[in-house]
Structure 1
Amino acid sequence: MNEASLTPDPAPSCPQRILCVLGMHRSGTSCLTGSLQEAGLSLGECHTWNPHNLKGNRENQQIVDINDAVLAAADCAWDNPPGSDLRWPEAQRREVLELFAGYADQSPFGFKDPRTLLVLEGWRELLPHMQFVGIFRHPVAVAQSLHNRSGMPHEQGLALWYQYNRRLLRFYRQQTFPLLCFDESEGLFREKLRAVLSQLGFASSAWQGDFYDGELKSSPASDEITLPWQYRRLYRKLRRLAE
């Protein structure tokens, strides 16, 4: 898929093509980002190891810090989402432009940080030519993974899942982009991921699938917890879009 003619011109002094991975924490964003890197996406400086994901969450710490600062300026955080779109402080706007100027010679360049879903409008204003790919996972699996990682109560994890993925669906309706479900079986997920790589213009033959590790999916989707109807409906809508 060649979308170059369908997107605005890039901002001055930044990569000609930028791809942002969108998705909730513990939803397969690291797997997707690492797979894109395998297929040729440049990530710049990123984490290649952490105790909760031995292959690394593939996040650029400067981007994480920018998103945290934008949220903190509104008395919010990754686990305390804002109720509406945020106004970005000028300092963080400058940081983005300076950071991406440093990656101007790396194209296609990409990044992921689940917090981006909470502050996305600012990113779109600063980098209007940016493209997107998204991924999601069953709410119970996400809540269980958050509980396993940091002891977060299941109810809080489920509520966060809803806040993040409601934004993911809203943005998808504004600007469609490839969307994957991390709950698929390994074989089907690999098949769909390969198709998405081709759709995004990457050489899927260069992707060997080394980043995917089924053992990292330590919290399989389950319906053991009774979910509010809004959560079930949102998940069903996302599943239909990812078919």
Structure 2
Amino acid sequence: MSQISNNDVRPAPARIICILGMHRSGTSCLTGSLQNAGIALGDIHTWNPYNKKGNRENQRFVDLHDSILEHNGGAWDEPPASSVWRSEEKQAGRELLESYAEYPLFGFKDPRVLLVLEGWKQLYPDMEYIGSFRHPNAVAESLRVRSDMPRNRALKLWYVYNKRMLQEYKKGPFPILCFDDSEENFHANLNRALDILGVLPKESGEKFWEERLRGSQNASQEKLPWRIGRLYRKLRSLALR
């Protein structure tokens, strides 16, 4: 049984896999696929108006992340430069992981985690990662539909989130999937990712992917700002294929 990093010895899942990625970037599909492969997620959302199979988020993690962001003067759409965890938030994180200690392989997904990740790394240094990204124009269009967010603001958010994912990748590579790929390529790359993570998928034959989950495929073909285009190309070069 793994232990949370703390002066007190506390139980935690033997392995924890954290799903990284910007909002509207295929993280829900990836997380649902990982669940089908046998990774426990706890109590998650399985339906909402913008994710017909649910965003696969555990509300307890989301609430904690929102609290941390708020007390650092930010929010999911107003990322702070850094996020300091208060003592009570560290305690809540320990208790959250402890509550899932029964699972040998546990995962969680919330795009906000990219904005508060350093705290989790302090609590659980052995945390593993897998990531997903999507073309900036597709994300911007999806955020326009969901949140009425202006394109320029959505692109800036895309850059902040994905730059942080790239920075984490540089510290130690992990599998990254591109949600722009075809269904066939997605599943092929998912299998590669599971192999890299050492996860033996269940023999259920069930696939989480449905084309309708991708949505907003009529995204703008507008030219991207150079630094956003460069980051997208960098992620494409690192993605499984």
- Give the TM-score taking structure 2 as reference length: 0.93
The residue number in structure 1 matching 2:22 is 24
Question: Identity of paired residues, percent?
Answer: 51
| In structure 2, distance between residues paired with 1:208 and 1:32 | 16
CA distance in 2, matches of 1:206, 1:179: 23
In the other structure, the counterpart of 2:84 is 87
For 1:117, the equivalent position in structure 2 comes to 114
Counterpart residue identity of residue 32, structure 1 = L
Helix, strand or coil for the counterpart of 2:17? strand
TM-score by length of 1: 0.92
Find the partner of 1:201 among 198, 201, 205: 198
5 Å-filtered alignment, 1:17-166, equals 17-83=15-81, 85-166=82-163
> 1:10 deviation in Å?
3.4
**One-letter code aligned to 2:125:** P
The number of equivalent residue pairs is 235
Q: CA RMSD in A?
A: 1.6
Match of 1:171 in 2: 168
Alignment of structure 1 residues 176-191 onto 2, 5 Å: 176-191=173-188
| Aligned AA (1:176) | P
CA separation in 1, counterparts of 2:56 and 2:220? 30
Compute the displacement of 1:86 (Å).
1.6
CA contact (8 A) 1:144 1:219 kept: yes
Please list the CA deviations of residues 53-79 of structure 1 after superposition, one character each: whole Å capped at 9, or x if unmatched: 110111010100000000000110000
Structure 2, unpaired ranges of 5+: 5-9
Which residue does the alignment assign to 1:5?
none
Structure 1 residues 207, 238: closer, same or farther in 2, change over 3 A? Answer: farther
CA-to-partner distance for each residue in 1:74-112, whole Å, 9 max, x for gaps? Answer: 1100000012x2211111110011111111111201100
Asked if structure 2 preserves the Cα contact closer than 8 Å seen for 1:35 and 1:207, the reply is no
Whole-angstrom CA distance in 2 between matches of 1:10 and 1:233: 39
- Tell me the distance in 2 between the aligned counterparts of 1:207 and 1:241: 30
Q: Quick check: 2:29–2:213 contact (8 Å CA) kept in 1?
A: no
Q: Distance in 2 between matches of 1:155 and 1:165?
A: 15
* Partner residue, 1:4: none
Q: Which moved more, 1:35-44 or 1:214-223?
A: 214-223
Q: What's the counterpart of residue 10 of structure 1?
A: 3
Higher deviation after alignment, 19-28 or 85-94: 85-94
Indicate how the Cα distance of structure 1 residues 140 and 209 shifts in structure 2: closer, same or farther if over 3 A, else same: farther
**In 1, are the aligned partners of 2:130 and 2:174 still within 8 Å (CA)?**
yes
Query: How far apart, CA to CA, are the structure 2 residues paired with 1:21 and 1:37?
Result: 11
Q: Which amino acid aligns with 1:10?
A: Q
